[in-house]
Amino acid sequence: MAVTRTETLPIRTGDDVVRVRQRVRALAVEIGLGLVDQTKIVTAASELARNTLDYGGGGDVMAEIVQAGARLGLRLTFDDQGPGIADIEQAMTDHYTSGGGLGLGLGGAKRLSNEFHIASMPGKGTRVTIARWK
Amino acid sequence: MHGAELLRKVVVDDAGGIRDAWLAILAAGMTAHGGRAREGELRTQAGIVVSQLGEGLAAGDLDADGSGFAPLRETLADISRSRALQGFTPTDTANFVFSLKEPVFEALGRACGSGSPDLATGVVSAGKLLDRLALHTMETFLASREEVIGRQGQEIAELSTPVVRLWDGILALPLIGTLDSARTGVVMETLLQAIVDEEAEIAIIDITGVPTVDTLVAQHLLKTVAAARLMGADCIVSGIRPQIAQTMVHLGVELNVVSKATLADAFAVALRRTGRKVVRQQAPTEERR
């Protein structure tokens, strides 16, 4: 699997979440994702970017266009140095929230992506990686 | 000789020379930047700035924030404000004042002769004064830009939350753009107030113009619907496009409200619920076309 392009965007304010959505949509269009897949990855990115901001205290997202054989994909890695998640299984459970949200963001992002990986260390931060393939 | 005094003498005595040299520099910069400012306008502005600089110095003060320089600050503020509105770059605007340094330094050189200790004093004083004036110009420039941005933000907030009365007791709220928290508050307030004002039974919330519906947007929608319900109005959500519907299913969001694909469908439901229906008065015929 080859990474053909990488860019990093900051997530520090609510406006950055909007910017991440717009950029992810542009990249999804660029690799030729269909309208439904575009909407899925943009929505997943929106959830994860807001988690990074609200629960991780801000961070960055790295967007990569990846290629495996003839298939193109979009991979997003959300990184924060926040408090981390002690119980990932619980956090992934639908309708569980430690804030005031619906508790569907993480599980939803997983269901909206082809690949989903989460790693977190309490006190160190959280990294979530998702990918959507054409 | 005292710095301010020397500077005043040079600026007043050599006003014409300074202005012409300055104009030459400005004109050269202007062609490089596509000639945004008209030459006549520039000539007037340069003349006023140089003469007001002399008047300010005549007060015997080198403090750019002092009362002696008030008219000059006002002039520079006007110039930078109009430049901000005309879309000049910050560099162009700052250079307007910075480029005055060279002619002033040259005039000081001519008056003192090179190597004179007065020259160094004069250059330092002139540098300090012009730097401060340039900063002042930039501050006004940025403030004007921010004013423009702020006004646009307000306009967008107002534009995007109109509540439309479709029929007696039926309201529509077409949402457009990003539903961030600040604007959602405005949306909710406008809708609830309109429900009271119009004695509405049904409110249609149309999300055709919302590009991304994630859990936060869904939560805002649900809260708005719940609040409307408490006030005795039922909500219908319309404008759910196929890709949004699929995404919401994957997210696991359930909107416990009646929802329709288009505003027209939602309006039909609303009419039916309020005991009305739309009928064709006459079959379409060839003559009517």
With CB atoms and an 8 Å threshold, state whether A111 touches B253.
no
| Domains present along chain A, CATH in parentheses | 2-133 (3.30.565.10)
A114 touches chain B (CB under 8 A): no
Specify if B243 maps to a domain: yes
Q: How confident is the model at residue A126 (pLDDT cuts 50, 70, 90)?
A: very high
Q: Are residues B144 and B17 in the same domain?
A: yes
Q: Is the pLDDT of residue B237 over 90?
A: yes
Q: Are residues B172 and B244 in the same domain?
A: yes
Specify if B278 maps to a domain: no
Q: Which of B132, B154, B176 is the last residue of a domain?
A: B154
What percent of chain B lies above the pLDDT cut of 70?
A: 91
Domain that holds residue B250: 164-273
For residue A107, which residues of chain B lie inside 8 Å, CB to CB? 252
Of A1 and B163, more confident: B163
Q: Which of B115, B132, B154 is the last residue of a domain?
A: B154
**Shortest Cα distance, chain B CAs vs residue A24, angstroms:** 12
Q: How confident is the model at residue A29 (pLDDT cuts 50, 70, 90)?
A: very high
Q: Are residues B169 and B224 in the same domain?
A: yes
For residue A40, which residues of chain B lie inside 8 Å, CB to CB? 243, 246-247, 250
Q: Are residues B32 and B135 in the same domain?
A: yes
Lowest mean pLDDT among A87-91, B23-27, B84-88, B274-278: B84-88
Q: What is the pLDDT of residues B184-226, one digit of tens each?
A: 778 888 889 999 998 999 999 999 988 888 888 888 888 889 9
Q: What angle do CA B133, B139, B143 make, to 5 degrees?
A: 150
Spell out the residues 6+ positions from residue A56 whose beta carbon is closer than 8 angstroms to its own. A80, A81, A82, A83, A125, A126
Q: Are residues B28 and B102 in the same domain?
A: yes
Q: How confident is the model at residue B114 (pLDDT cuts 50, 70, 90)?
A: low
Specify if B280 maps to a domain: no
**Chain B: residue nearest A18 by CA?**
B178
Query: Cβ distance B83 to B92 under 8 Å?
Result: yes
A94 touches chain B (CB under 8 A): yes
Q: How confident is the model at residue B120 (pLDDT cuts 50, 70, 90)?
A: confident
pLDDT, mean of residues B131-137: 88
With CB atoms and an 8 Å threshold, state whether A104 touches B253.
yes
Which of A18, A19, A37, A43 is most worth mutating to test chain B (most B CB atoms within 10 A of its CB)?
A43
Q: Are residues B126 and B255 in the same domain?
A: no
Query: Cβ distance A46 to A20 under 8 Å?
Result: yes
How many domains does chain B contain in total? Answer: 2
Q: Is the pLDDT of residue B2 over 80?
A: no
**Shortest Cα distance, chain B CAs vs residue A115, angstroms:** 14
Lowest mean pLDDT among A91-95, B4-8, B53-57, B189-193: B4-8
Q: Are residues B181 and B233 in the same domain?
A: yes
Q: What is the pTM of this model?
A: 0.65
Specify if B175 maps to a domain: yes
Lowest mean pLDDT among A30-39, A123-132, B62-71, B139-148: B62-71
Query: What was the pLDDT predicted at B158?
Result: 67
Query: What was the pLDDT predicted at B267?
Result: 94
Q: Are residues B98 and B213 in the same domain?
A: no
Specify if B227 maps to a domain: yes
Q: Is the pLDDT of residue B142 over 70?
A: yes
| Residue among A21, A50, A108 whose CB faces B252 most closely | A108
CATH number of the domain residue B70 falls in: 1.10.490
Specify if B282 maps to a domain: no
pLDDT, mean of residues B37-49: 80
What percent of chain B lies above the pLDDT cut of 90?
A: 20
pLDDT, mean of residues B267-288: 84
* Distance between CA atoms of residues B56 and B289, nearest Å: 77
Q: Are residues B47 and B137 in the same domain?
A: yes
Q: How confident is the model at residue B234 (pLDDT cuts 50, 70, 90)?
A: very high
Q: Are residues B145 and B168 in the same domain?
A: no
ipTM entry: 0.81
Query: What was the pLDDT predicted at A75?
Result: 95
CATH number of the domain residue B244 falls in: 3.30.750.24
Query: What was the pLDDT predicted at B37?
Result: 56
Q: How confident is the model at residue B261 (pLDDT cuts 50, 70, 90)?
A: very high
With CB atoms and an 8 Å threshold, state whether A39 touches B246.
yes
What percent of chain A lies above the pLDDT cut of 70?
A: 100
Q: How confident is the model at residue B36 (pLDDT cuts 50, 70, 90)?
A: low
For residue B180, which residues of chain A lie inside 8 Å, CB to CB? 14, 18
DSSP one-letter string for chain B = --HHHHHHHHHHHTHHHHHHHHHHHHHHHHHHTT--S-HHHHHHHHHHHHHHHHHHHHTT---TTSGGGHHHHHHHHHHHHHHHHHT--HHHHHHHHHTTHHHHHHHHHHHH-TT-HHHHHHHHHHHHHHHHHHHHHHHHHHHHHHHHHHHHHHHHHHHT---EEEETTEEEEEEES---HHHHHHHHHHHHHHHHHHT-SEEEEEEEE-S---HHHHHHHHHHHHHHHHTT-EEEEE---HHHHHHHHHHT----SEEESSHHHHHHHHHHHTT-----SS---TTT-
Q: Are residues B30 and B63 in the same domain?
A: yes
Specify if B113 maps to a domain: yes
| Residue among B180, B181, B212 whose CB faces A43 most closely | B212
A58 touches chain B (CB under 8 A): no
